[in-house]
Structure 1
């Protein structure tokens, strides 16, 4: 199934669900304020999203609300400047970072663990920002897909004057943990999500040849071993999910 926002900007507080088999569209949630990113649990039993508080507050204060696919509230993580939110493979916890530490939360907001990003990745602290993602595989909890800031091509730097963003597989089963780069130097990659079987990764990206385009973004797919990289659609922010409730 596909979770999406209403096309009318006035309805930014609504999220809809499209049932893939029947084509039926129904309301998922209608919040009191704007709804942001929507994240599926791998087993389809839960959906998380960020919802602006109903009263004016700092942008970093968006709580993460967790629902069943029927729209019933399950839990909430208080707003505390969290980014790169994803579920663990069993759907029992959420993973997110605050640019300094990587957190595992229970669905009621309890902190299960936290690790400095410098220790988790081996990178210096000035290499992290709110765009980074550290998402565990749905089938192998010690394997993560991560984004990293790396030097890009000369053509990329000439236009952006910034580092590029590359996709890596971070394998904590190794000692020390092993990083395998999944994207080539001429591709900018971010917003990765796993396929439900943990064999592929989908992400937003674009090649250097489109860096000046008004909308350079495409949806890419790559196998977890780094093979089979291909652009499969124009667009951004891919999400993968399985709805377990009826349409």
Structure 2
């Protein structure tokens, strides 16, 4: 099948892909990195910030969206802000030590979204929206750009598998796994993880644990508290953990908390996410960055902001 055409074929039922498996394929772990333990980047009002390990005072970096800190903490990938609408007007990479920024990818008509690094820190994946959505990869220096998925319908939240050899993303109904040439490796009904239909939005991400690939963090829509529903007139998103080995799903966040954009710490022990709680409901910019242990303990508010990348 031609590179990048599998999504249209999926819609027609002509992929020739194997039958959906009960769980994602087993993947080996990537070679260990030396991450900047405790470092965090995030966005706040179209500006990007870096919070050093042990620091409580974030450092302002550059204007940007969708920040992604490289595994070794040396580079920051991000989207150049657009003045007219959402998305990003290009994919940039900032060398944090030298302060040099390079344009890596120019955007499609609708912009770039959802940037993330491969586990070895060599490549990036991102969503490029135009007439058709495309999941793409590129080396951090701008070389080797490739389309791994394109379709006639919208897809969301591409993330790397822990071994760096495949990418996951979803279309609100199915979680896809594709290799780096666009071959479909797996198709998992989202209801296998969520337990119910029509509970996912474009802000919800499904993220495999970097150490235990069968353990997944994700967010989905649930009924909000009475005050939440009176304030927003829509469901609340909550953070969950799903274990493919036991088929068990556990809610991690409290009833009054909105939670989206989940991402694992490099050691696989914590989940970072953006969200807010009842005291923040009526604020103009309510989002905070939080961290929680994978067992649900130690919920901590870190700072105001969105799109955390540890």
Q: TM-score, normalising length from structure 2?
A: 0.69
Distance 1:74 1:4, change over 3 A: closer
Structure 2 match to 1:166: 238
CA distance in structure 1 between the aligned counterparts of 2:221 and 2:77, rounded to whole angstroms = 29
Q: CA deviation at 1:74?
A: 4.3
* Residue range with higher mean Cα deviation, 25-34 or 149-158: 25-34
- Alpha carbons 2:81, 2:89 under 8 Å: kept: no
Structure 2 match to 1:65: 136
Structure 2 match to 1:46: 123
Distance 1:211 1:122, change over 3 A: closer
Structure 1 match to 2:262: 192
Flag structure 1 segments of 5+ consecutive residues without an equivalent.
Answer: 241-247
User: What whole-Å deviation, never above 9, does each CA across 1:86-143 have from its counterpart, x for those lacking one?
Assistant: 111111111111111111011121111102112x225221223333221111111101
Structure 2 match to 1:3: 77
CA distance in structure 1 between the aligned counterparts of 2:82 and 2:213, rounded to whole angstroms = 38
* Residue range with higher mean Cα deviation, 10-19 or 101-110: 10-19
CA distance in structure 1 between the aligned counterparts of 2:261 and 2:218, rounded to whole angstroms = 9
CA distance in structure 2 between the aligned counterparts of 1:206 and 1:81, rounded to whole angstroms = 27
CA distance in structure 2 between the aligned counterparts of 1:218 and 1:13, rounded to whole angstroms = 25
* Residue range with higher mean Cα deviation, 1-10 or 43-52: 1-10
Q: What aligned pairs does 1:108-123 form with structure 2 within 5 A after superposition?
A: 108-118=181-191, 120-121=192-193, 123=195
CA distance in structure 1 between the aligned counterparts of 2:108 and 2:233, rounded to whole angstroms = 40
- Alpha carbons 2:201, 2:220 under 8 Å: kept: no
Structure 1 match to 2:198: 126
CA distance in structure 2 between the aligned counterparts of 1:21 and 1:229, rounded to whole angstroms = 31
Structure 1 match to 2:21: none
Number of residue pairs matched by the alignment: 231
Structure 1 match to 2:102: 26
* Residue range with higher mean Cα deviation, 201-210 or 221-230: 221-230
